[in-house]
Structures are given as structure tokens and as C-alpha cells.
Amino acid sequence: MESSKTLAPPSKKKNRYSTRKLKIGREAAEITANHFILEHLPDRFCAGVPNLVEFPIRTVWSVPIMLGYPKLGVIGHVGTVIVDSEMGTVAGWTPLEEVKNAAREIYERRKAEIEAPLV
């Protein structure tokens, strides 16, 4: 049975946590995440396009960790780095073992393509 209730649109009141108060933008968040990735993971990993996430007490950038190979490009999303939008620092990340396990699973599924000789 379908509900006749509809969700109310977001309030148009000014929010004191407005995204207009960001101290770092999308590009800076991506650079920060890439630095973290380079320091903690082997090659083949890079930052994807950051997405802004607003929480009641803070706004952060959620930056996907991507797996890529030279001839294939990006082949999968394997984790996330969270960058604080006010401080410009890494505030959290997917546990690195989970990132590596997700990368191994993608590698196994696409092994033939990854290991195919360059033509």
C-alpha cells in the first residue's frame, strides 16, 4: 500500500552551517585526499571527485578512493577519504585493509583485461 504522505521540501531558512562558509573547495579537498592516498596506499590508487556532505555540526568533503590502471583508466571505487571543509585536514577514511581487499576483488574480476599485453 502506497503512503499518501510526502516529504516536505528543505527549509528555506538560513542555516548557520551553510556551505557558503567553506574554507576549502572541491579542488583542495581532492588534493588533500590524494596526499593521504599517496602516503598510505600503493600505486594504482587516486582520489575521485569530492562530494560535499553536510552534518548538523560540520560540513565535510567525501572523496572516493579510486583504483585505476594505465590502459584501462579508473576501474572502481574502493573506499573514501573524509576531508574537513573548515580545517582542510583528513578527518576519516575507509580502513586501509578494506580498501586493499576491495581493490583485490576488482583486480580478480578484471584480471584478464589488466594483464592483457599492450597492443
Closest CA to 44 of 79, 94, 88, 93: 79
Tell me if 54 sits within 8 A of 86, measured CB to CB: no
Please give the model's pTM, rounded to 2 decimal places.
Answer: 0.80
| DSSP 8-state assignment for residue 63 | E
Cβ atoms of residues 67 and 80 within 8 Å = no
- Please check whether residue 36 lies inside any domain of the structure: yes
Q: Is residue 59 part of a domain?
A: yes
Enter the C-alpha cell of residue 58. Answer: 560540520
pLDDT at residue 18, rounded to an integer: 52
pLDDT digits (tens, 9 = 90+) for 20-71: 578 999 999 999 999 999 999 999 999 999 999 999 989 999 999 999 998 8
How long, in residues, is the chain?
A: 119
pLDDT mean across residues, the chain: 87
Q: What is the pLDDT of residues 78-93, one digit of tens each?
A: 999 999 999 999 999 9
CATH code: domain of residue 100: 3.10.450
C-beta separation of 49 from 27 below 8 A:
no
Structural domain range at position 87: 23-114
Domain count, the chain: 1
